[in-house]
């Protein structure tokens, strides 16, 4: 497959100011008639090229005249039309079979609905079109369909007209007045019910809101609707951005390759990010709904009004929009806990990507398949870049920068460079060196060495940075890294003052005066930069910070580091005293100033995968054993506290208040440690929670805890859960996921069995992710020394690739981490990658990921 390079960007040869689409919809055979007003862009004589993927032109007309086959040709699926003159109307007719579209890109059928997914390059599967984001067009869309099967017809923009046709069919016309790239095109046809509401914008316009779902799911849409209205108000209050159309619709579909899609005025969602009720959704699910609804809504400005010039600029919209949704969620709940969660996600997903064969810059230089670049680097690291700029500028100058960005580029297809320039001009700052964050892949390592001179009262902090080599980038230049630090007095526990240091050279010395006694260093407070920090802090200093740091992230981090040092020390044969961890957990539990959600985060042991990331070569078995033993010790030594807490935090009735959510989180943590203590009544207590819970947060947590062990209660809970929820797809996903994620020696065999379960299907991406996605994130099970885990995932990739290559390709990265494991495991992983590569007819999606993973 061809490699697309950022440096090859050229302005479009032809523009398409207006598009009229006419859909005659039917799951088996849909026809699409497209009329494009095309205009030559500049003085050239190149033909019009309309991308197509799997399309056959049944008719091609120019200015109303049908062309003969000699007047056009197809080139790699694209329709090539040599055209004279400056402007024409080009008309094409194609046929589609949505019910046979298992890739879920373009127009497809899902649960009786017809819907579209066009980002990144799905529009070319619907009609011939220059499928690139810098072509902005006004769309008018007519849809006709059988009225009984598809009573609701939705598209982008505002509804214009509707009526009944012959043979039980009906039709509707929608117009979108805002020029948009074709990746934002959408339509939905189906038998849907609507949760209707309204929002009055800051300028007093009334916007009709609709969340469209299957009728039975209507009661599960209230949280999404609240989230939508809160998002609309937040974007007005924080960014001064108002919604622009008269209607805003959201549709939930069961089969979706991603979380959701921000189509102009018609967001389409994976139902897991819309539907929520206490019986089936956990608090994490509720937060997911709120965050994704906000994310897609915020795209209306950061993505739709200002879009991307080309796909290399993807982080322009995704990084910025993740930053916006993270801050929104923090404002809706707890800033401290949200930051901890976001950093955990970054470290679990992005850091491994940045240190492996698929590492790429936030603004990549090349790709084979753009769908493979919807990554944690583009999204989450991209958000960290915006966060660093916000920190360096301060809130007022940052918002001067974003105002300038929106004003300058409204209605345009922009670049990451445009965003940085708006920050520079609006915020009055020089970001020349900072731009390297967009260019250089790899997680910087910052080393911090603190020394104190009692005679002079001077503290020296020497910071140095190393950016590891990544594919195609053997040498790196020093970056501009904002590091927030504070120095604490050991005696008084006073903070000598928060400062943001700019590390811009390979090594730099920072001096602090008038510090009488050797202080304790708090560093990368708030996770001010997405870097790995190595310090010479003792376990005693970390214990001090875990009890007294006034920055919640740094306090959490000190606790994590304390635990990492003990576990990595033990695994490496250099035992470190565990009692400091037990004491720190005890201190945290009894600190009355801390809220429950923070406590639950702070006392959680680092994941097995995170521990693996701290080691030169990952030893999954040793990591599991050491972590299990420490968990047992914390459980056993503090057993009365866990017991008391678990009993005390039982709620009378369900609520989504931050306090109630925090209490559930901590109660689950207490149950976890109580069972880990080995107490004889542990499994029964877990089963009792499973059985009596009035919410999924406690029920699923109890199921997960039981699934890790061996008990009659485990078998009972797994069966009860299945029987209760087997008719509800989203909840049944949890059944698959919880078992695939179990820290149990037989998980690998169980996953093999579950892959043959009657409810398992490769046609639904949520189900695939629930089983194989969860399993490949379970380090101990996936890296079973037999290599069976690798074979299972490779089998799944091979079977899924012809059905849904995008989803198949997303299962490849865990196999590509072979360099991080011992020679035997590495060879087994490589063998599976080779086996995949030898499959004839492999998709471009999987091929790109596998080839890179073998390098
Ligand atoms: N912008 C959306 C991306 C997306 C997507 C990408 C590839 C394949 C399918 C997809 N569905 C949605 C999601 C977002 O970031 O908001
Ligand atoms: Zn997005």
pLDDT tens digits, residue range 255-289?
999 999 999 999 999 999 999 999 999 999 999 99
Mean pLDDT to the nearest integer, 190-198: 99
In this predicted structure, what is the pLDDT of residue 238? 98
Atom 13, ligand 1: which residue's CA is nearest?
Answer: 261
> Is 90 exceeded by the pLDDT of residue 133?
yes
Say how many Å lie between the CA of residue 642 and the centre of ligand 2: 40
Angle value at C-alpha 105, between 839 and 182, nearest 5 degrees: 135
Q: Residue 374: what pLDDT?
A: 98
What mean pLDDT, rounded, does the chain reach? Answer: 98
**Tokens found for residue 650:** 């039982």
CATH code of the domain occupying 726-855: 1.25.50.10
Statement: residue 617 has pLDDT above 90: yes
In DSSP terms, which residues pair with 460 in a beta bridge? 451, 511
pLDDT tens by residue, 223-250: 999 999 999 999 999 999 999 999 999 9
Please determine, for residue 197, whether its predicted confidence score (pLDDT) is greater than 90: yes
In angstroms, rounded to a whole number, what is the distance separating the alpha carbons of residues 667 and 131? 51
Residue 758 pLDDT greater than 90, yes or no = yes
Which protein residue has the closest C-alpha to ligand 1 atom 12? 261
Q: Output the CATH code of domain 307-439.
A: 1.10.390.10
Strands 247-253 and 206-213: parallel
Q: CB neighbours of 167 closer than 8 A, spacing ≥ 6?
A: none
User: What pLDDT digit, counting tens, does each position of 564-596 carry?
Assistant: 999 999 999 998 999 999 999 999 999 999 999
> Catalytic: which of 262, 296, 578, 848?
296
Ligand 1 site-directed mutation target among 374, 808, 809, most atoms within 8 Å of CB: 374
Q: For ligand 1, atom 11, name the residue with the nearest CA.
A: 258
Phi-psi region for residue 455, left (φ > 0), alpha (ψ -120 to 50) or beta?
alpha
Residues at CB less than 6 angstroms from ligand 1: 117, 119-120, 257-258, 260-262, 295-296, 299, 318, 371, 374, 806
What beta strand segments (E) does 443-593 contain?
Answer: 445-453, 458-466, 481-488, 499-503, 507-512, 520-523, 532-535
Residue to mutate, 116, 119, 314, 804, ligand 1, most ligand atoms under 8 Å from C-beta: 119
Helix (H, G, I), strand (E, B) or coil at 251: strand
Quickly tell me which residue has 């005696």 as its tokens: 491
In CATH terms, the fold of domain 4-191 is: Immunoglobulin-like (2.60.40)
Residue nearest to atom 14 of ligand 1 (CA): 261
Each residue of 287-312: pLDDT tens digit? 999 999 999 999 999 999 999 999 99
Q: What residue spans define the domains of the chain? A: 4-191, 307-439, 445-536, 726-855
* Residue 831 to residue 834: CA distance in whole angstroms: 5
Report the CATH architecture of 445-536: Sandwich (2.60)
Ligand nearest to C-alpha 311: 1
Residue 89's pLDDT is what? Answer: 98
How high is the pLDDT of residue 458?
97
Q: What is the pLDDT of residue 536?
A: 87
119 is catalytic: no
- Alpha-carbon span 190 to 110, nearest angstrom: 10
ipTM of the complex: 0.99
Distance from the alpha carbon of residue 631 to the mean position of ligand 1, in angstroms? 38
Decide whether 4-191 matches 445-536 in CATH topology: yes
Who contacts 27 (Cβ-Cβ below 8 Å, separation ≥6)?
97, 98, 99, 109, 114
Whole-Å CA distances, 293 to 41, 223, 227, 288, 451 = 37, 10, 6, 8, 48
Distance 563 CA to ligand 2 centre (A): 34
Instruction: Starting at the earlier edge strand, list the strands of the sheet with 152-155.
Output: 106-110, 113-117, 187-190, 152-155
Tell me how far apart the alpha carbons of residues 622 and 608 are, in angstroms, rounded to a whole number. 10
Which atom of ligand 1 is least distant from the CA of 371?
7
297: tokens are: 């809504």
Question: Given this model, what pLDDT does residue 652 score?
Answer: 86
| Confidence (pLDDT) at 630 | 98
Looking from the CA of residue 370, the nearest atom of ligand 1 is: 7
Taking alpha carbons only, the member of 246, 497, 368, 516 closest to residue 844 is 368
Burial class for 166, CB neighbours closer than 10 Å (0-12, 13-18, 19+): exposed
The DSSP call for residue 603 is: T
Question: Could you give the CA distance from residue 627 to residue 611 in angstroms, rounded to a whole number?
Answer: 9
Cβ atoms < 10 Å from Cβ of 706: 28
* Sign of the C-alpha dihedral computed for residues 391, 394, 398 and 399 taken in this order: positive
Output the pLDDT for position 363: 98
Strand partners, 161: 173
Q: Are 712 and 686 in contact (CB under 8 A)?
A: no
Percent of the residues in the chain that have a pLDDT greater than 70, as a whole number = 100
Residue 1 banded pLDDT, cuts 50, 70, 90: confident
Six-digit token pair at 798?
Answer: 């091979």
The alpha carbon of residue 322 and the mean position of all alpha carbons in its chain are separated, in whole angstroms, by: 8
**pTM given for the model:** 0.99
Supply the residue whose CA is at minimum distance from atom 7 of ligand 1: 371
Q: What is the 3-state secondary structure (H, E, C) of 34-87?
A: EEEEEEECCCCCCCEEEECCCCCCCEEEECCEECCHHHCEEECCEEEECCCCCE
């Amino acid at each position: 497959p061809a490699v697309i390079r950022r440096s090859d960007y050229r302005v479009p040869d032809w523009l398409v100011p207006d598009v009229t689409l006419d859909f005659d919809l039917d799951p088996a055979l849909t026809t699409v008639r497209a009329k494009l007003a095309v205009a030559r862009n500049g003085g050239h004589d190149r033909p019009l090229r309309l991308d197509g993927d799997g399309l056959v032109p049944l008719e091609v007309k120019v200015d109303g005249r049908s062309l003969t086959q000699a007047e056009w040709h197809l080139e790699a699926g694209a329709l090539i039309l040599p055209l004279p003159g400056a402007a024409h109307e080009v008309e094409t007719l194609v046929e589609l079979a949505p019910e046979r579209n298992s890739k879920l890109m373009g127009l497809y059928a899902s649960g009786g609905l017809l819907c579209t997914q066009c980002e990144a390059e799905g529009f070319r599967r619907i009609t011939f079109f220059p499928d690139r984001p810098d072509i902005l067009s006004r769309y008018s869309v007519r849809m006709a369909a059988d009225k009984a099967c598809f009573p609701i017809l939705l598209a982008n923009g505002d509804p214009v007209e509707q009526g009944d046709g012959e043979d039980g069919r009906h039709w509707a016309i929608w117009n979108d007045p805002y020029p948009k790239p074709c990746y934002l095109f959408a339509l939905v046809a189906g038998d849907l019910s609507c949760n209707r509401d309204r929002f009055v914008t800051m300028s007093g316009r009334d916007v009709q809101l609709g969340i469209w779902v299957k009728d039975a799911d209507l009661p599960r849409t209230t949280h999404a609707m609240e989230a939508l209205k809160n998002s609309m108000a937040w974007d007005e209050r924080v960014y001064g951005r108002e919604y622009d159309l008269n209607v805003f619709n959201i549709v939930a579909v069961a089969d979706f390759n991603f979380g959701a899609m921000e189509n102009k005025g018609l967001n389409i969602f994976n139902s897991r990010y819309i539907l929520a009720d206490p019986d089936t959704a956990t608090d994490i699910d509720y937060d997911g709904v709120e965050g994704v609804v906000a994310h897609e809504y915020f795209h209306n400005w950061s993505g739709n009004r200002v879009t991307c010039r080309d796909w290399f600029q993807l982080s322009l919209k995704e990084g910025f929009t993740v930053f916006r949704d993270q801050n929104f969620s923090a404002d809706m709940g707890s800033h401290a806990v949200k930051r901890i969660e976001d950093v955990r996600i970054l470290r679990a997903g992005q850091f491994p990507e940045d240190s492996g064969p698929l590492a790429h810059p936030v603004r990549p230089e090349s790709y084979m398949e753009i769908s493979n670049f919807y990554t944690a680097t583009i999204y989450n690291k991209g958000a960290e870049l915006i966060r660093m700029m916000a920190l360096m500028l301060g809130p007022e100058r940052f918002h001067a920068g974003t105002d300038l960005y929106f004003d300058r580029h409204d209605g345009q297809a922009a670049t990451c460079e445009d965003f940085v320039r708006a920050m520079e001009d609006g915020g009055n700052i020089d970001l020349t060196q900072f731009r390297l964050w967009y260019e250089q892949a790899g997680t910087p390592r910052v080393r911090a060495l603190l020394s104190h001179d009692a005679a002079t009262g001077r503290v020296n902090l020497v910071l140095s940075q190393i950016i590891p080599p990544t594919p195609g980038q053997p040498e790196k230049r020093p970056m501009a890294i904002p590091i927030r630090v504070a120095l604490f007095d050991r005696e008084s526990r006073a903070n000598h003052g928060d400062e943001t240091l700019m590390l811009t050279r390979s090594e730099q010395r920072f001096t602090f005066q008038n510090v009488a006694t050797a202080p304790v260093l708090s560093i990368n407070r708030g996770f001010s930069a997405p870097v790995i920090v190595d310090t010479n802090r003792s376990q005693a200093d970390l214990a001090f910070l875990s009890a007294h740091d006034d920055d919640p992230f740094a306090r959490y981090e000190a606790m994590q580091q304390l635990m990492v040092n003990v576990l990595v020390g033990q695994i490496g044969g250099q035992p470190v005293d565990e009692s400091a961890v037990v004491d720190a957990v005890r201190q945290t539990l009894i600190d009355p100033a801390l809220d429950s959600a923070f406590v639950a985060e702070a006392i959680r042991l680092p994941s097995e995968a995170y521990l693996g990331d701290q080691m030169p070569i990952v030893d999954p078995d040793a990591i599991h054993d050491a972590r299990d033993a420490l968990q047992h010790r914390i459980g056993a030594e503090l057993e009365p506290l866990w017991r008391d807490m678990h009993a005390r935090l039982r709620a009378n009735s369900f609520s989504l208040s931050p306090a109630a959510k925090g209490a559930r989180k901590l109660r689950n943590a207490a149950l976890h440690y109580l069972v880990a203590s080995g107490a004889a009544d542990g499994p029964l207590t877990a089963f009792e929670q499973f059985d009596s819970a009035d919410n999924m947060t406690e029920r699923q947590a109890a199921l997960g805890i039981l699934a890790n062990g061996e008990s009659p209660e485990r078998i009972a809970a797994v069966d009860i859960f299945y029987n209760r929820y087997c008719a509800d797809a989203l909840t049944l996903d949890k059944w698959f996921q919880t078992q695939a994620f179990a820290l149990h020696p037989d998980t690998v065999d169980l996953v093999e069995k579950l892959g043959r379960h009657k409810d398992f299907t490769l046609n639904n991406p949520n189900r695939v992710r629930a089983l194989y996605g969860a399993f490949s994130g379970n380090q101990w099970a996936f890296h079973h020394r037999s290599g069976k885990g690798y074979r299972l995932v490779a089998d799944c990739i091979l079977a899924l690739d012809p059905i849904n290559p995008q989803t198949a390709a997303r299962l490849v990265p865990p196999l590509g981490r072979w360099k991080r494991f011992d020679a035997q495991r590495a060879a087994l992983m490589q063998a599976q990658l080779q086996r995949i590569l030898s499959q004839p007819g492999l998709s471009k999606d999987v091929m790109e990921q596998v080839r890179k993973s073998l390098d």
